[in-house]
Amino acid sequence: MDNGHANALARDWPAGISQVPFWVYQDPEVLREEQRRIFAGPVWHFLCLDVDIPALGDFRTSFIGDMPVIVVRGEGDRINAFENRCAHRGALIAFEDAGNVKDFTCVYHAWRYDLEGNLCSIAFQRGVNGKGGMPADFRMAEHGPRKLRVETIGGLVFGTVDPAAPSLEEFLSPPIAAKIRRVFNRKLEVIGRFTQVLPNNWKMYAENIRDTYHASLLHLFFTTFKITRFDQAGGVTISPDGAHHASATISKGIQTQSVYKDQGLRSDSDVFRLRDDSFLETEAEFGDDIQLQNVALFPTLMLQQLYNSVAVRQTVPRGVDSMDLHWTFIGFADDTPEMRRRRLRQMNLAGPAGYVSMEDGCIGNFVQRGAAAAAAEISVIEMGGRDAVSQDTRATEASVRGFWKNYRRLMEL
């Protein structure tokens, strides 16, 4: 793409957003440039949940791409975030997943930081017995880990290192922000965390979640067991820049086996049936008939509502051909015991062992292996056209093209 920029990564990539060369999933140089232009770029990244750090001094550690980050509840109920890197020698300032502190002290040489990430004391700054110590002109204020801007939506905490990034709301776009608020509309409660290690480039998962075309073709659970949904409709909503995606499946509910039986609609002998499909019985809790909603935020966050199973999925790249997928399963503070049990049982649908997500664990690796010798070859993403606009069908790859539209803009590729 000849765009006039002197980019070290400039190499063959057909114009447009409907064709993607395989080198983009394979080249370590691309990954380094992604860290600079996307993860440290004018982009908002998920850090943690608001309820993960309810009290003063509560912190969690997270990642923005390669960058380790501390998120902490500071004075005035403010959420602060800064790079988890000591300004002295670069050691991790905090090496636990979570905790509660008055301040942070690096274990290496005891440099101490307040809850905003300001360097506030240095061990032996004036030396010992008049010997050693830091130079007289050393100013603590000039040294510290990079600080992040922090904003929240629906109890989800986001941060960016780039002062030039727009506001979070503007970054998300109003239609996508509305989809988030639809589900994340009251106090959350974590009900489980799991990490799935996927042997593929992180962008393959970003594409997969936006790829509404594959859902009924790769994931055969619903069709195999003839689980029918009434009045199916739906489509995809794409932010104007292409970056973010929300898909929806609208129906009046699930037709489970018991419904068939109750209505004497058909014989059970000719098809496979689930023995206990009661776990699919769903309670509408978001004020509409959207049974399934997947929101994908650029670059690495996915928000899932599968019936009553709600989850946050965060991708952390681990090299060109590996990524961690952090699943946080969510309940709400006002759940009845019945609703909580329903969420626990519906977790069988998604996750590392999910009936309708298991295949996504291996499909990226099939691509990674299949295209291993095809760096200069092209993947074609033209189902539903060559643009990236909202559509009222899910038989489309429009959202995948949207990802690449925003990716090429940010990467100047």
Partner 1 sequence: MSDTLFRVAALNTRYAAVIDADMLEEWPAFFLPDCLYKVTTAENLRKGYQAGVIYADSRGMLEDRVAALRRANIYERQTYRHIIGMPSVLADGPDGISAESPFLVVRTMRTGEMSLFAAGQYRDVIHTGADGTSRFAERVVVCDSPRFDTLLAIPL
CA end-to-end distance (rounded Å), the chain: 7
Closest distance of CB 339 from partner 1, Å: 13
Rounded to a whole number of angstroms, the CA Rg of the chain reads: 24
Handedness of CA 174, 175, 177, 183 (dihedral sign): positive
DSSP character at residue 128? B
Q: Quote the CA–CA distance of 108 and 87 in Å, as a whole number.
A: 11
Cβ proximity to partner 1: between 151 and 211 the closer is 211
**C-alpha count within 13 angstroms, C-beta hemisphere, residue 360:** 28
Cβ proximity to partner 1: between 20 and 49 the closer is 49
Show the beta-strand stretches assigned E in 286-344: 290-297, 301-306, 309-317, 323-332
Residue pair 283/270 in contact by the 8 Å Cβ criterion: no
Give the Å distances, CA to CA, from 204 to 1, 11, 102, 235, 244.
21, 20, 41, 21, 15
Closest distance of CB 333 from partner 1, Å: 14
Per the listing, tokens 């290496």 go with 108
Closest distance of CB 338 from partner 1, Å: 13
Q: Is 411 helix (H, G, I), strand (E, B) or coil?
A: helix
Cβ proximity to partner 1: between 167 and 258 the closer is 258
Closest distance of CB 124 from partner 1, Å: 37
Residue pair 238/275 in contact by the 8 Å Cβ criterion: no
Closest distance of CB 273 from partner 1, Å: 9
Closest distance of CB 322 from partner 1, Å: 10
Closest distance of CB 345 from partner 1, Å: 6
Closest distance of CB 411 from partner 1, Å: 28
Strand partners, 305: 293, 310
Cβ proximity to partner 1: between 52 and 397 the closer is 52
Torsion from C-alpha of 271, 272, 278, 282, nearest 10 degrees: -70
Element (H, E) at 17: none
Cβ proximity to partner 1: between 84 and 196 the closer is 196
Element (H, E) at 138: none
Closest distance of CB 358 from partner 1, Å: 5
Closest distance of CB 359 from partner 1, Å: 5
Cβ proximity to partner 1: between 184 and 329 the closer is 329
Q: Is 194 helix (H, G, I), strand (E, B) or coil?
A: strand
At 255, give phi and psi (nearest 5°): -95, 100
Q: Quote the CA–CA distance of 208 and 259 in Å, as a whole number.
A: 33
Residue pair 19/381 in contact by the 8 Å Cβ criterion: yes
Q: Quote the CA–CA distance of 196 and 190 in Å, as a whole number.
A: 17
Sites of contact with partner 1 (CB under 8 A): 190-199, 218, 220-221, 223-225, 272, 274-277, 279, 324, 329, 340-341, 344-345, 347-348, 351-355, 358-359, 361-362, 365
Q: Is 61 helix (H, G, I), strand (E, B) or coil?
A: strand
Cβ proximity to partner 1: between 169 and 268 the closer is 268
- The reply to whether omega before 299 is within 30° of 0 (cis) is yes
Residue pair 281/338 in contact by the 8 Å Cβ criterion: no
Closest distance of CB 70 from partner 1, Å: 19
